[in-house]
Chains A and B, each alone.
Chain A
Amino acid sequence: MGKRDLLRGNEVIAEAAIRAGCQCYFAYPITPQAELLEHMARNMPRLGRTFVQAESEIAAVSMVYGAAAAGVRTMTSSSSPGISLKQEGISYLAGSNLPAVIVNVVRGGPGLGDIAPSQCDYFQATKGGGHGDYHMIVLAPSTVPEAGELTMLAFELADRYRTPVMILTDGLLGQMMEPVELPEPIDPASIPAKPWATTGASGRDPNIILSFDLDPEVLRQMNLDLQAKYRRIEEAELRYEETMTEDADLVIAAHGTMARIAETVVRRAREEGLKVGLFRPITVWPFPYEPLRELSSHVSTVLTVEMSAGQMWEDVRLAVAERAATPFYGEMGGIVPTPRDILSEVRKHAG
């Protein structure tokens, strides 16, 4: 094992972005992701890279658009209300096929909400929070080390598919510390060439990056191309994890922070003799419908647990259909269900 450091989720996401070759970071401060911005402020200038504390979230995401169009790896981060402000820019990034990473350290909503952990931005992240027929790849880490790994992956996927990628986490994972073996920095030469980027047209034809065409036939084709890309992503990039599902009668479906809390529930339930497992989507878009559909035909119950009113629950029900019961347990407003809370829900439905 290499050297382990005790670090906050927010710091690890920032450091992983640096190690993934992020050249330009633009953001506006908000709790509970402040440490992410602070880590970038301390380190990006020292490395000769660009850190800008923008005048607003909209400015920050627009700067990301510019940097992405110029062909460099770029990121912005915020928390729920700030991410809402960025939706216009995210739609433009998607429509223009631009690679960028957006981090949402979710807090309680709607509106100004509070600063406590929540998963209430799942719909916004996975169903398209901005206008138009688009998706982002959305990665949902459940531990601090995984937040680092998925941030590295986010940059890679963004470039591979020329698409915005979101890290969807929450205030709990952002604030907590855990031992981490930080990923090795990438070799900058490994970043794919971007012949489409607007790097100055001297000696070649101009590159034009737009999400706009007044001719419906042309815009239709742009949309068909986008959809074809999303189908390729669905084919190739599904990520999920199953824990003790082989003989399970009840499976908890949970992502991110809730999934790691559910791991403790699975352990306690097993001690009581209850056959309980865990299904954890790591990509919440694309959602692992097929694996969950397959699993649901061997169990009697899929219990969705979220820090929301039941947002991922809709995807779970789409996957499971009528193959198993699909109860839901959730908390809102920044209340984090404890293992005991979830276990008592499990007991209601198990056996």
Chain B
Amino acid sequence: MERSVVIAGFGGQGVILAGKILAQAGMDHGLEVTWLPSYGPEMRGGTANCTVVTSDSPVGSPIVDEPSALVAMNRPSLDKFAALVVAGGTILVNSSLIEAPIERSDVRVVSVPLNALAAKIGNARTINMIALGALIKATAIVPLETLKRTMEKAFEDSGKAKLVAVNIQAIEEGYNAA
């Protein structure tokens, strides 16, 4: 089965890293994956996004016209991508920043107050990991334990081992909130 996720938000919300960790977790789970960033000038200030495809067979197109899930970290991202999500797919909405209702009845909407949960944890930069925790609860793309292990290794490899504990907490908060 092939699944695709668009993760989108403001530059600085950590969407690129979230996508990398999701793709790495997919690979660690034995899946084929692709990770494709938006690398245009839109990254400065506007919306940044990346697309992750996971599959049990080789991935064809890394460009996705009907994502099976969208993580919308802010309102412009929701406006840009919500209409693309496949019928029966999932839209994860950051309800801390997005108040508008989703004008689609054929998708599953999961509302998680990412910024409020990050404030509760005490680290505003964990919203991307909260989002990933919620995403994998809603979609079961990879198991919770795989995601945690992959994140831990990614942070350790980049010399940020001291951030592992708070991000484990973030993933669990998101998982439990979805």
Contact = CB atoms under 8 A, between A and B. Distances in A.
B63 A339 contact: yes
Given A6-B20, A339-B65, A176 B34 contact: yes
Contacts of A339: 60-61, 63, 65
B66 interface: yes
A114 B41 CA distance: 10
Contact of B34 (A4, A114, A177, A263): A177
A152 interface: no
A32 B39 contact: yes
A298 interface: no
B136 interface: no
Interface residues of B, number: 22
A172 B36 contact: yes
Contacts of A265: 60-61
B50 to A, nearest CB: 9
B151 interface: no
Given A4-B27, A264-B61, 15 more contacts: A32-B39, A116-B40, A172-B62, A175-B39, A176-B35, A177-B20, A178-B59, A179-B27, A179-B32, A261-B61, A265-B61, A338-B61, A338-B65, A339-B63, A340-B65
Interface string B11-24: 00000000010011
B37 interface: yes
A339 B86 CA distance: 14
A266 to B, nearest CB: 8
B66 A340 contact: yes
Q: From A31, A175, A262, name the one whose CB has the most chain B CB atoms within 10 angstroms.
A: A175
Interface in B26-67: 27, 32-37, 39-41, 58-66
Interface of A: 4, 6, 31-32, 114-116, 143, 171-172, 175-179, 260-265, 267, 336, 338-341
Given A177-B34, A178-B33, A260 B61 contact: yes
B36 A176 contact: yes
A267 B20 CA distance: 26
B61 A263 contact: yes
Interface of B: 20, 23-24, 27, 32-37, 39-41, 58-66
A202 B37 CA distance: 54
Contacts of B41: 115
B114 to A, nearest CB: 24
Contacts of A178: 33-35, 59, 62
A339 B84 CA distance: 13
A233 B73 CA distance: 53
A175 B36 contact: yes
Contacts, number: 67
A6 B61 CA distance: 17
B60 A264 contact: yes
Contacts of A177: 20, 23, 34-36
A38 to B, nearest CB: 14
B26 to A, nearest CB: 9
7 contacts: A172-B63, A175-B36, A177-B35, A338-B63, A338-B65, A339-B60, A339-B65
A31 B37 CA distance: 14
A6 B60 contact: no
Given A4-B27, A6-B20, A177-B20, A336 B39 contact: no
Contacts of A263: 60-61
Contact of A6 (B33, B59, B64): B33
A95 to B, nearest CB: 36
A267 B34 CA distance: 18
A178 B37 CA distance: 12
A115 B38 CA distance: 11
A108 to B, nearest CB: 11
Nearest to B37: A175
Contacts of B40: 114-116
A280 to B, nearest CB: 12
A115 B58 CA distance: 27
B39 A6 contact: no
Contacts of A116: 40
A282 B37 CA distance: 25
Contacts of A114: 40
Nearest to A143: B58
A172 B64 CA distance: 13
A341 to B, nearest CB: 8
